[in-house]
Amino acid sequence: MATTKAAAFRLSNAVKATSRPPIPTAYEWAEKYAATAAAARPLLDMSQGVPGVPPPRALLDALGKASALPQNCGYIPAAGTPELRQAMAAEMKMSYGAEADITHHDVAVTAGCNMAFVTVAMVLADAGDEVILPVPWYFNHEMTLTMLGIKPVLLHTYAKEGFLPSPERCAELITEKTKAIVLVTPNNPTGAIYPPNLMASFAKLARERNVALVVDETYRDFITTHTPHHLFSRLPSAPSEVIPPEWDWRGTLIHLFSFSKSYCIPGHRLGLICASPDIMPSIVKVLDSLQICAPRAPQVALAPLLPTLRGFVRETAEAVAHRHTLFKARLPPRWKIGSQGGYYAFVRHPFAGKHANEVCQRLAEEIGVVTLPAGFFGPKGEEDQTVMDEDRWVRFSVANVDDRKVELVCERLAESEKVFGWDLD
C-alpha cells in the first residue's frame, strides 16, 4: 500500500481551524453495522436531510431535454437566467402573499443554498467581524464563517423555549463588529418553526441596530399551516407583528432559499438569494468569482414549469407533515420531542447520563438506525452551553424514509432501551 506524504507547503490556518463536516462520521458508524452478522435487518437512515421521493416526471423530462441542447452548454449571467428569476419572484408571492413586494431584480440564482450563504457572508463581513448564529447551528454556516475569519457569536436556544431564539438575548450580543443575524426557519437541526411575530421581532431588532437579517428558508415550503412570515410586505399583516411603520425589507432582510428540498433536485445545485438591488452588484461580483454562473440546464428546465409544480410541492410537504405526525405517535414514550418541523424532529433520548454522540453511535452500529447527535451542531468546546441538557438531543430526518421505515425506527428505539443495558429516565 502506498504511503501518503505530508504536503511540502503550508495550508490555510482558517481552513485548519474549521471543523470537518460531521455527517461522514455517522456513516462510518453505519458501515460497522453493515459489516456485522447482526445486519440481517436493513439499515434505517434518518440522518441526512435528503428528499425521499424523486422529482415529477415532467421535471425529469425537462431536465433531460434542457441538458441535451447545445445552446445550454454555454455561460449565462452570474445572477441567473431572467426567466427563472422572474418565475421565482412570482413563486415567492405565492409563498408570502400577493402583497409581497418582490421583483426579479431582487433575485440572484446560486449553485445551491450553501453557495448563497458563502456569497452573502463575503458581501457583508470582513475577517474579524462578527455574525450572530443561533445554536444548535447548521454546521455549514459555522464552517463558512470560520473559514472566512468571521467570528460566529453564539445565540443559545433552549428546549424549554422550543428551541426558538430570543430577540432580547440576541440584542445583548450585538457589538460594533456585528454585521448580521442569521436565522434558519424551519430550523436545521431542531425543526423549530419560527412564528411570524418572532420573525418580525428580529426584523425590528436588526433594523434598529443597522445589521443585516439573513434568513435561510430552505424548508419554507414545508410549513403547511400558515404563511412563513410577512417581512416582504411593506406593512405588517397582523397586529402582533410589530414592524416599524416605515419598514422596507430591502434595507434589512436577505433571504436564502434552496431548490433541493421543494423540487427534490439536490444534485442539480440550485439556490437563491433575494436581496435589495442596491447590494445586488456586490452579490454578483462574488458569484462571478465563485461560480461564474449556477448550472444552466436546471434553470432552463424549471423556469416554465414552476407554476405547474405547485401541486407536487404541496403534496410532498403534506406527506412530510404526515410523517411527522406518525413519528410522534409511534415514538417510544421515554423519547421526548423538543421541536419538530421542516425535515426534522429534535428528540431527547432516555438514557440517563449518556451523551447523544455515544447513543447515536450505538444506534447505528448495533441496531441499524442512523441519526445525528446534537453535538454535531454546536461548538465542541462549549457543548454544555449549547442548549439545556443539550448532550441528550438527537436529530431525526423524517423526509428520506417512508411510513413503514418510520414505524420500524420507532420499534428499534424501543428495542434499544432493552438491549443497551443503560439506566433509563
**381 confidence band (pLDDT: 50, 70, 90):** low
pLDDT digits (tens, 9 = 90+) for 53-90: 999 999 999 999 999 999 999 999 999 999 999 999 99
Using the predicted structure, report yes or no on whether residue 241 has a pLDDT greater than 70.
Answer: no
Sketch out the chain's domains with CATH numbers.
13-54+311-419 (3.90.1150.10), 57-309 (3.40.640.10)
* Mean pLDDT on 174-181: 98
Residues 6+ apart with CB under 8 A from 386: 135, 136, 156, 374, 375, 377, 378, 379
Q: Which residue has the cell 418572532?
A: 198
Nearest one of 269, 184, 222, 211 to 95, comparing CA atoms: 222
pTM for the model stands at: 0.94
φ, ψ for residue 142, nearest 5 deg: -65, -40
Using the predicted structure, report yes or no on whether residue 235 has a pLDDT greater than 90.
Answer: no
**387 confidence band (pLDDT: 50, 70, 90):** very low
Using the predicted structure, report yes or no on whether residue 39 has a pLDDT greater than 80.
Answer: no
Please give the pLDDT value at position 22: 87
Using the predicted structure, report yes or no on whether residue 234 has a pLDDT greater than 90.
Answer: no
381-406 burial by CB neighbour count: b if 16+ within 10 A, else e?
eebeebbbebbbbbbbbbbbbeeebb
Residue pair 214/181 in contact (Cβ under 8 Å)? The answer is yes
Residue pair 343/188 in contact (Cβ under 8 Å)? The answer is yes
Nine cell digits for residue 37: 452478522
Using the predicted structure, report yes or no on whether residue 244 has a pLDDT greater than 90.
Answer: no
High-pLDDT (> 90) share of the chain, %: 85
Number of neighbouring beta carbons within 10 Å of residue 162: 17
Amino acid at 70: P
Q: Please state, in angstroms and rounded to a whole number, the distance separating the CA atoms of residues 425 and 332.
A: 13
Please give the pLDDT value at position 238: 52
Using the predicted structure, report yes or no on whether residue 37 has a pLDDT greater than 60.
Answer: no
Nine cell digits for residue 71: 445552446
Residue pair 181/187 in contact (Cβ under 8 Å)? The answer is no
For strands 336-341 and 393-397, give the pairing: unpaired
Q: Is 40 exposed, middle or buried (0-12, 13-18, 19+ CB in 10 A)?
A: exposed
The full length of the chain comes to 425
User: Mean pLDDT for the chain?
Assistant: 93
Please give the pLDDT value at position 295: 97
Q: Please state, in angstroms and rounded to a whole number, the distance separating the CA atoms of residues 113 and 263.
A: 14
Nine cell digits for residue 425: 429516565
Q: Is 77 exposed, middle or buried (0-12, 13-18, 19+ CB in 10 A)?
A: middle
